[in-house]
Amino acid sequence: MKSRTVVALTVFCAAGLVCRVQAEPVQAEEGFSYADVANLEFAFSSGAGAWGTGLTIHADGTFEGNYHDTEAGVRAETYPNGTRYVCDFTGQFTEPVKVNDYTYSAQIQDIQYMKEPGTTEIVDGIQNIYSEAYGLDKAENILFYVKGAPLAELPEEYRSWVGYYDLTNTSDTELPFVGLYNEAAQEGFSSYMQAEPVQEGQASSIEEELEKIAQQASVLREKLNQETLSQDDMNRIASELFMLWDDELNSMWSRLKEILPAETMSRLTDEEVAWISEKESAVAAAGAEVAGGSMQPFVENTKAAELTEARVHELAEYFR
């Protein structure tokens, strides 16, 4: 499905076993440690439910993530449910090195893909085209910008990815999150706090799980009601609102594949592909009404969040 997804870390060892070795936190000479971002999710996306890459980083500098994009209309007799560009990856960053008071530099020491980039496979009637990790591709230096970095001193190419292309349209002067910038490819990630997972004993029903998500959504909507917000601020918060529901949608989808009979999952997959196509059309139509204006990302993300929230509640019925 077309969205930004973060997957669990998977490291493949000998004899096909899956394991993970936890090393000590990797810290720069001054002030920055991967432990500082271990509770964050990094996102690189176009917004409004199109393609996206999600990335999490652990205290020892290892990372994991997923990229995918879906084209429901690209189909054939052998893959009637459309085409998906996808990759799941894991890797290791080098020790971060201080560049200045708000920037640290690292390299990708190693990156591994669960499926060989460039290969294809048909799964559940969908053509999977396996790719590299968009956002980390062609990487040389990976720059980390600490929260509070002066926006005016960050590259315009980075700011354009994270909602700060035009500094005259925002009251912010500092980066409100930790940023990640693939300098060579000029590709930038924003970050936000990971939603706390529902632990065993904490939530006894899907209703409690959805209530937690709804509470987080309510906080974001309250922010949108602040009169002092710039349009860039509103665009960014609307994007966070969409990603909140999109994360829950992907979490549900992963669990449904584990609990539903194959026949039911096949039917639901067809339904999901159709829903994705309808959602994309509705988001595009909403954006077209203000095409080219500064409100377009806000309108598109708001519509995407609305539709995704509704879809989450539809899928929740399968857990009841």
DSSP string for 29-57? SSS-BGGGGTTEEEEEE-STTSSEEEEEE
State the number of CA atoms in the 13 A half-sphere of 242 facing the CB: 29
Question: For residues 243 and 49, what is the distance between their CA atoms, to the nearest angstrom?
Answer: 8
Looking at per-residue confidence, does 172 or 56 come out higher? 56
3-state secondary structure of 283: helix
Contacts of 56 by beta carbon, 8 Å cutoff, 6+ apart: 6, 9, 38, 40, 41, 42, 63, 64, 65, 194
DSSP letter (8 states) at residue 73? T
Residue 4 pLDDT exceeds 80: no
Q: Supply the pLDDT for residue 69.
A: 82
Q: CB-based contacts of 114: which residues, under 8 Å, 6+ apart?
A: 10, 87, 88, 89
Residue-level pLDDT at 11: 36
Cα–Cα distance between 162 and 168 in angstroms, integer?
Answer: 15
Bridge partners of residue 68, in order along the sequence: 52, 86
pLDDT in tens, 8-66: 333 333 333 333 334 445 555 557 999 999 988 898 876 555 577 889 999 999 999 98
- What pLDDT band is residue 118 in, cutting at 50, 70 and 90? very high
What pLDDT does residue 27 have? 53
